Each structure stands twice: as structure tokens, then as C-alpha cells.
Structure 1
Amino acid sequence: MILRAAKPEDASSIAAISLEVWIGTYLKKGVSAFFADYALRRFTAAKAGMLIADPAEFILVSQNDDGIDGFIRVSEGSTAPVEGCSGFEIATFYVQPRHHGKGIGTGLLNAALAHCRSRSAASVWLTTNAENAPAIAFYLERGFVEVGKSDFTIENEHYLNNVYLHPLS
């Protein structure tokens, strides 16, 4: 496993992993056109390329011998949905399910936290679906604390998310 900054040529891999993980995590009973259309609009190589090029985004990928198996994106200057959070958000954090349990997520998270510390962030925050028990357990085991609730909205549909904060001082 090699952790490195994302490069423009990683955009299609990041988009593909995003589709795989998002659909596999949130669409347990089947894929409706509503969610398929949302995912195909949101997770594109063009959008990933724009994020890679954005200086307010820090994207780190995990690469194995065959390609990228996970990535984490920290957005600087984000506004949290609850008070008391810094402007540093872990906006996206995906590892392919077949690579869970190999230390990839921990490595990516530790590197992202180190990046935030290097930018003098007092904390970093994230949201995750309130029903995503494996992600919630992962974050709690690594020092995140729940600080509130928010809604993830697709068109007029709302999905409850938990907001987690990790102090860095």
C-alpha cells in the first residue's frame, strides 16, 4: 500500500471507487432510477478532476500493485452543519469493501489528520449516514465524537446523518 496525493490521471479511478462504494453502502435492496441518476451525475471523472485541481481540496489515494483501492478527501473552508466545528471537513472517505480490514482506512485517516494538523486545524469533522454502523464504529474507535445531526438531501428526499468531530490539539 502506497499513500500519495491524487493526480489528474486518478480522476476516473476515484469516480469508479466512489460509485462502487456509494452504491454498495447505501443501496442495499436494489438500484432505483432515482439513486442511479443521482450517483451517475455526482461521481464522474470530470468532477473528480475538478476536485483534484482545487487547492482547497486535499485528496490522498491508497494505491496497490493493480491500482487505487481507496481515497480520502479533506475540504478546507467547509461550513459544518453544527456549531463548534472547524472549516476542515473529511468530505469523502471511501475504501473498496474487498480491501477493508487491511489498514488502508486507518492509514488514509491518519494521513488526513496529519495534514489537518499541518494546516493548524483545531479539529476536523465529517458526516455519515446515521444507519452506517460500520463507518460509525470505525470513527468512534479512532477518537471521533458525535456532535450533532444533519440531513443529506437528494432533491426533496432527506436522509439523517450524524456529525462527528475529531479534536486535533
Structure 2
Amino acid sequence: MKIRPAQKADAASLAALSIEVWVGTYLKRGVNSFFAEFALSEFTTARFEALLQDGQDLLMVSENEEGIDGYIRLAEDRIAPVDGLSDLEIVTFYVQPRHQGKGVGSALLNIAIDYTREKGRQSIWLTTNSENTTAIDFYLAKGFEQVGVTDFRIGDQAYPNHVLVLNTSP
């Protein structure tokens, strides 16, 4: 496993990985057009190319001998849905299911923690679907605490998400 900054050439791989993880995690009973349209419009090569070109966010990938198997994206100046949190958010944190439990997520999270400390922040936060027990269990095991609930919105639909925070003070 190699952890490195994402490059523009990774955009298509990041889009494909995102679709795989998102569909596999959230669409348990079939794929309808509402969710398909969201995933196909949200996770595109062009969006990742623009994100990487912009350079505002930190986007790190885990790469094995065949390709990218996970990534983490951090953004600054984010308004947290709960008062008192830092402005540093883990926007996206995806690891292919077949690579979970192999240290990929832990390695990527360690990069995020180091980055948080380098930026002088005392904590980092994220949201995750309230039904995504695999992710929630991972975060809690890594020291995150649930500090609230917010909604993830797709159009006029709302889905409850846990707000989790990790204190990164040494």
C-alpha cells in the first residue's frame, strides 16, 4: 500500500471508486433512477479533475499494485452542522469494501490527523449516514465521538447523518 496525493490522472479512478462505494453502501435494495442520477452526476471524472485543479482540498489516495483502493478528502473553512467544531471536515472517506480491514482506512485517517495538527486545528469532523454501522463502528474505534445529527439532502429528500468529531490534540 502506498499513500500519496491524488493527481489529475486519478480522476476517473476516483469517480469509479466513489460510485462503487456509494452504491454498495447506500443502495441495499436495488438502484432506482433517483439515486442513479445522483451518483452519476456527483461522482464524475470532470468533477474530480476540477477538484484537483482547484487544489483547495487535501485529497490523498491509497494505491496498491493494481490501482487506487481508497481515498480521503479534507476541506478547510467548512461550517460544521454542530456548534463548537473546527472548520476542518473529512468530506469524503471511501475504501473499497474488499480492501477494508487491511489498514487502508487507518493509514488514510492517520494522514488526516497529521494534516489537522499541521494546520493547528484541535479537531476534525465528518458526517456519515446513520445507518452505515460499518463506518460508524470504524470511527468510534478510532476515537471519534458522536456530537449531533444532521441531514444529508438529495433534492427534497433528507437522510439522517451522524456528526462525528475526533480530538486531534496530542
Task: Give TM-score, length-normalised by structure 1.
Answer: 0.98
String of CA shifts for 1:126-153, please: whole Å, max 9, x gaps: 0000010010000000010001000000
Q: Is the 8 A contact 1:124 1:165 kept in 2?
A: yes
Partner of 1:42: 42
Could you list the per-position Cα deviations for residues 61-80 of structure 1 after superposition, in whole angstroms to 9, with x for gaps in the alignment? 00001110000000111111
Post-superposition CA distance 1:20-40 (Å, at most 9, x none): 000000000000000000100
Amino acid at match of 1:120: G
Q: 1:140 & 1:51 partners in 2: Cα distance?
A: 29
Q: C-alpha distance in 2, partners of 1:35/1:15?
A: 16
Does the residue aligned with 1:78 lie in a helix, a strand or coil? coil
Residue identity matched to 1:103: G
Residue equivalent to 2:17: 17
What SS does structure 1 have at the residue aligned with 2:146? strand
Q: Which amino acid aligns with 1:156?
A: D
Residues 16-95 of structure 1 correspond to what in structure 2 (within 5 A)?
A: 16-95=16-95
Which secondary structure state, in structure 1, belongs to the residue aligned with residue 151 of structure 2?
strand
Q: Which is further off, 50-59 or 93-102? A: 50-59
Q: Distance in 2 between matches of 1:109 and 1:141?
A: 12
CA RMSD of aligned residues (A): 0.7
In the TM superposition, residue 54 of structure 1 has moved relative to its aligned partner by: 2.5
Q: Which residue does the alignment assign to 2:147?
A: 147
1:122 CA drift (Å): 1.4
SS at match of 1:159: strand
- Letter paired with 2:142: R
> Residues 34-90 of structure 1: CA distance to partner in whole angstroms, max 9, x if unpaired?
000010000001111111223320000000011100000001111111111111000
Amino acid at match of 2:155: E
Q: How far does residue 116 in structure 1 lie from its aligned partner after superposition? A: 1.2
Q: Could you tell me how far apart the structure 2 residues matched to 1:126 and 1:117 are?
A: 16
Letter in 2 for 1:102: K
Other-structure match for 1:131: 131
What's 2:159 paired with? 159
Q: Which runs of 5+ in 2 are unaligned?
A: none
Task: Please give the TM-score of this superposition, normalised by the length of structure 2.
Answer: 0.98
